[in-house]
Amino acid sequence: MYPFRTKVLNSAFLSHREKNYYSSIPLFLTQADGICFDLTDKRVYRTNKGVPEISKLIRELPEKDILKILLQPLKIQGLITATKDQRHSFSGNINRHEILHGISVDYGTRINSCKAISWLVYISDVLGGTIDE
């Protein structure tokens, strides 16, 4: 679906298989943002006054659209997407900001890599459904 991302995604999945989670997680998180941008021209981690930029797209979906329901998590900040100021509200250690800015150094676990894969698939498959129709 994203042939120009093949080398990066192959590297991320190879790192995951080789249990090099400190490498796989940042790659999965950055590719989720890139895929979101490819699909919507919006950044999944960008906010405006604490409101995720992507939430505007979700609000514009028809009220009865199942995708509007499935995309609700993107309208709020969660552990992965929390900004520096919101981070203290969440427990756990898979926060995109802290990982990519070198603040977190204890995120490299299998479960966190699996969470990052799930996040990537969610962005790609569910958010991608808004464009395919």
CA dist 100 and 129 (Å) reads: 28
| Residue 132 reports pLDDT greater than 60 | no
Indicate the number of domains in the chain.
Answer: 1
Given pLDDT bands bounded at 50, 70 and 90, which one contains residue 102? very high
CA dist 127 and 123 (Å) reads: 5
CA distances from 14 to 71, 77, 102 (A): 29, 29, 22
The whole-number pLDDT of residue 133 equals: 43
**What is the Rg, in whole angstroms, of the alpha carbon atoms belonging to the chain?**
15
| Residue 3 reports pLDDT greater than 60 | yes
Which residues span the domain enclosing 51?
3-132
Return mean pLDDT, the chain.
90
Given pLDDT bands bounded at 50, 70 and 90, which one contains residue 80? confident
Average pLDDT over residues 28-41: 95
Could you give the dihedral angle defined by the CA atoms of residues 89, 124, 24 and 102, in that order, rounded to the nearest 10 degrees?
-40
